[in-house]
Structure 1
Amino acid sequence: MKRLFIFLLMTLLIFSLFTTMAFAKQEITLKVVTRTWAKELIKYATSKLQAAHPDLNIKVDASYYEYNECRTQLAIRLSRKEPIDAIIVDHIWLGEFKDMILPLDISEIKGYDDYLPSFKALMEKYAPPKKTLGLYAATDIRLLFWNKELMQKLGINSVDIKTWDDVKRYAKMIKAKENLLPKGVKPVGFMAGNSEHTNSRWYDYLWAAGGDILTKDEKEAKFNDKEGVAALEFYGWFLKNGMVAPEDVVSPANGAVYDEAFLNGKFVISLGNGHWLGTSTAKNVGLTKEQFISKFGATLIPAPEGGERGTTVAGGYLWCVSKFAKHPKLTLEFIEYITNAEGYNQPGTGKNGIPTLKSALPTIDNLPYADIIKEAVKHARFRPTIPEYPKIAEEIRDAIQEYVMNYDKKSAKEILDKAAKKVNEILK
């Protein structure tokens, strides 16, 4: 009897053990390197991935970093072949990390054709045929803005800006009645401080004129061609005609300072601000959406005669699968939840910004000047994606600032040629 009891007990234990093993969930941990602002996004994508795989116990081990530290950590951790699964890559870092990213088969990516063409081209830039190096998340764009209240104070009740000449025409109208403006207000402003915002907002005009930063192979400077000279001289026209002083545009330490100065009435026309001017910046200065729309007008970046109206630098990140990923297929699914059209600009998803997917563009309909933003994103351009770009950007920014401070002494061509020579040395 005792032997029978022991036998039954052992049988029960073995059965219990096998049952537990059969129903135990496999534990999977995805390692992620990303930015500090992505916590809600990671939480959302993790929940979506777990719901799609109830048979797995999925955990995400995410490391969050600020901008510069994120780039540094990616370089360190990928160089030692750490088994990181998903990484976030600023598009201007793409050339630096391209050899550490796993190319993805386009045919395996859901909704790939939904991407706007320019973003799709960037994603495929360094990838083999029929593959992509990552999935583009949200972006941001730039527009020209003006202060309606100040315009109306001068008797200008209708504004229609499409060309560079249009901007000059309105600037002259404002200048003619400058005495009616509050003290210190300037007819026109643009960003020329010591910040990448100076570069990106000038590039809009460089591209509008038909120029570019570098040659197509990214091996030589091109910004000093006639189109670049015209774009810098466009800035110079406002300086030479007393529409703004050098200190007004050089002093802002960054784009945020300049943007708030514009909203607070420093300039009547601003040659370039990010679309966030009507959302986060407006909120920072105490304006509601309705107040912003009532007080400020917006339009696409203007172009010279024969140029392309609406050109805008596009910011943003790609989500990529690391070459050293332990779980590449699951990671692809994870970054699809981060970047696909579902949940864009909805509370609790962390998927905020201007979508790069056509089907998700209606989610920004509640933004100020949404229709103009939707048109602008079709004209998106990108800064160089090579590792040398930060050094190149410094030379271009120095050139813009040198011209602003010496517009009456040195020519735009002379200054840009000098900068181009330095850039070509960097590119050797």
Structure 2
Amino acid sequence: MPRLLPLALVTLTLTGCAAGCTAGAGDAEGSGSRHGSGPITLAIGRDTTGYLRPLLERWNQAHPGERVTLLELPEASDEQRAQMVANLQARSDRYDVLGLDVVWTAEFADAGWIVPLERSMFPLDRFLPPVVDTAVYRGKLWAVPYTSNAGLLYYRRDLLAKEGFEPPATWAQLREQARALRAGYGVDGYAGQFLAYEGLTVNFAEAVQSAGGGRILSPDGTRVTLDAGRAEAALDFLRGGLREGWIPRQALSYKEEESRLAFQEGRLAFARNWPHAYGPAARSPLAGRFAVTRLPGLDGPGSSTLGGTNLAVSAFSRHQRSAVEFIRYFTGLENQRRVLTDGSFPPVWTELYDDPGLIERFPYLPVLKKSILSARPRPARADYNQVSLVIASAVSGALDPPFEESSADVAASLKGQLDEIIRAP
């Protein structure tokens, strides 16, 4: 366990306030805590790999008066957000530490649901720089990076070797190989997360980015930058796969877990998923027969959406000092190593990606590091959820056969809807 700061210093870095604890992003950094130590609850997405409880038990054994209880939220990020928002809008003190999708920082800070943190308490200079940026909003640190994420292409190494294929780096190569493997081995070709939720927004954003470097919105979220040509190319890539059959129709109902299982059970030749799918596959009958590479793009390797989870302190927690100390423990180097080795989640400490022992055990780390460093964050907007819903709805409709509306028309309509959101007061 890393060395923890004295409790008095934690008290000073989160100074007391009565009304300020529920104010928004304009609060002074470090304000927000009028509470002390005691039991806390960690609210975070469902642990599908079973790695969390042993880490929590280590904390509980060392802190019997500040025991942490795990509250697992649904797997889908949209459902996690809905439960958290309902709790925080009610000013409930049930949640102390919040496991936030990296895209929620602006929204939760603006709403006054989380408190700003003191940068000096965390070794941020040893974290991957793009990951740290996801926890900063309007110049203040509102959360601490816990896991990072970037999309990877999982592929059947054994089948590609039989056909003499190299891992696909372009959409055309993916199409060619998916069709060939489907015909020769009876496996479906390719799938991502195509259900109408945040996962579809991410998959579409990655396709736009991979079609020559486009963006849906500017990084600060103040302008719609969706290029008609790149959006049309992204939609054509996905619709073409569905039309030709190398993307199976059932993929339209896939979230992360469904696509993971489809690949792990040998039903897919290729799958876009996050790194957490690697560990379960490596422990399955597919072990030794698959590998990962960067996402393909229109003319070469594509670009992922930057994902991950940050840990924040609820503005309504009664034990904010314990919450901060727990976050310092949970994001420390020792636990970050376990996040990777036991949970198969990408750590946020840069040095772990260069550790020879870890690379031997997790040979995808160099590819993952490149993917994270080249990934693009989602725009920092407090109303990002509304933006995501509009994108997911438009793309979901476009992927539903018989494809009556052209890709160009879908792209133009989506751009118009986004323009209305951005212009709204």
- The 8 Å contact of residues 299 and 372 in structure 1, kept in 2 or not, is answered as yes
Deviation per CA, 1:372-413: give whole Å up to 9, x if none: 223222223333454533343333223323333347643212
Contact 2:224 2:418 in 1 (8 A): yes
Are positions 1:313 and 2:313 aligned together? no
Give me the whole-angstrom Cα distance separating, in 2, the residues matched to 1:160 and 1:83: 47
Q: In structure 2, what is the equivalent of residue 161 of structure 1? A: 168
Corresponding residue to 1:411 among 406, 409, 413: 406
Indicate the residue corresponding to 1:256 in structure 2: 257
Find 2:138's aligned residue among 112, 122, 126: 126
Number of aligned positions between the proteins: 373
Contact 1:96/1:386 (CA < 8 Å) preserved in 2?
yes
* C-alpha displacement of 1:134: 1.5
**1:119-198 paired onto structure 2 within 5 Å:** 119-128=131-140, 132-153=141-162, 156-171=163-178, 174=180, 179-182=183-186, 185-198=187-200
| Structural mapping, 1:3-82, within 5 Å | 28-35=37-44, 37=47, 38-47=52-61, 50=63, 58-60=65-67, 62=69, 64-67=71-74, 68=79, 72-73=83-84, 76-77=87-88, 80=91, 82=93
Shift of 1:64: 2.0
Alpha-carbon distance change, 195 to 262 in structure 1, aligned in 2, over 3 angstroms = farther
d(CA) in 1 for partners of 2:107, 2:261: 34
Q: Distance in 1 between matches of 2:348 and 2:66?
A: 28
SS in 1 for 2:399: helix
**For residues 6-405 of structure 1, what are the structure 2 equivalents within 5 Å?**
28-35=37-44, 37=47, 38-47=52-61, 50=63, 58-60=65-67, 62=69, 64-67=71-74, 68=79, 72-73=83-84, 76-77=87-88, 80=91, 82=93, 86-98=97-109, 99-106=112-119, 108-128=120-140, 132-153=141-162, 156-171=163-178, 174=180, 179-182=183-186, 185-209=187-211, 210-223=213-226, 225-239=228-242, 242-244=244-246, 247-250=249-252, 252-270=253-271, 272-281=272-281, 283=283, 286-287=284-285, 291-293=286-288, 295-305=289-299, 309=301, 311-323=303-315, 331-346=323-338, 353-361=345-353, 362=355, 364-365=358-359, 366-367=361-362, 369-405=364-400
Shift of 1:415: 0.9
TM-score (norm 2): 0.73
1:118 Cα offset (Å): 0.7
Q: Is the 8 A contact 1:224 1:413 kept in 2?
A: no
SS in 2 for 1:145: strand
Matching residue of 1:8: none
Q: Which is worse superposed, 70-79 or 230-239?
A: 70-79
Cα distance in 2 for partners of 1:84, 1:193 equals: 29
Amino acid at match of 2:174: V
**Contact 1:345/1:353 (8 A) holds in 2:** no
Q: 1:364–1:313: structure 2 CA closer, same or farther, 3 Å change rule?
A: farther
Residues 400 and 75 (structure 1 numbering): CA distance in 2 closer, same or farther, change over 3 Å? Answer: closer
Q: Aligned pair in 2 of structure 1 residues 332, 179: CA closer, same or farther (>3 Å)?
A: closer
Question: Displacement of 1:119 after TM fit?
Answer: 1.0
Q: Which amino acid aligns with 1:102?
A: V
Structure 1, unpaired ranges of 5+: 1-26, 51-56
- Conserved 8 A contact 1:164-1:303: yes
Question: How far off is 1:301 after superposition?
Answer: 0.9
Letter in 2 for 1:280: P
Give the Cα–Cα distance (whole angstroms) in 2 for the partners of residues 255 and 349 of structure 1.
20
Letter in 2 for 1:356: V
Unaligned runs of 5+ in 2: 1-35
Q: Secondary structure at the match of 1:120?
A: helix
Aligned-residue offset at 1:97: 1.6
Task: State the Cα RMSD in Å.
Answer: 3.6
Q: What is the SS of the residue equivalent to 1:138?
A: strand
Measured in 1, the distance between the counterparts of 2:278 and 2:209 equals 24
Cα drift, residue 159 of structure 1: 0.8
Q: Percent identity?
A: 19
Q: Which structure is larger by alpha-carbon Rg, 1 or 2?
A: 1
Partner secondary structure for residue 291 of structure 2: strand
Q: Distance in 2 between matches of 1:229 and 1:31?
A: 48
The whole-number CA distance in structure 2 between the counterparts of 1:238 and 1:257 is 18
TM-score with structure 1 setting the length: 0.73
Q: Does the residue aligned with 1:192 lie in a helix, a strand or coil?
A: coil
